[in-house]
Amino acid sequence: MVTIGSGVVETGILKKMHERIIKNFMNIIILAKLRNGALSGYDVISFIHNKFHLLVSSGTVYSLLYSRERKRFNRGKMER
């Protein structure tokens, strides 16, 4: 158990909160990392695991990458 303020929070709850925060901000994390250059899905999974100690599924990462790619292509078509 971990004590925060005057209350006690279970370690498991903190782990779940950490996981939820990382997953909610995964788009931003991926975009920030992509500023340094191209990455494969495996690179993204490895980065998140090494940096945040969280193993995310390949389906989650590839889905986000595919979504980002489609948004980029759609934006380019609208600007023409």
* Alpha carbon separation from 45 to 48, 50, 61 (Å, rounded): 5, 9, 7
Domains, the chain: 2-79 (1.10.10)
Q: What is the pLDDT of residues 46-67, one digit of tens each?
A: 999 999 999 999 999 999 888 8
pLDDT band at 44, cuts 50/70/90? very high
Cβ neighbors of 18 (< 8 A, separation 6 or more) are 52, 54
This prediction's pTM: 0.71
Query: CA 30, CA 45: separation in Å to the nearest integer?
Result: 10
Q: Does residue 32 contact residue 64 with C-beta atoms inside 8 Å?
A: no
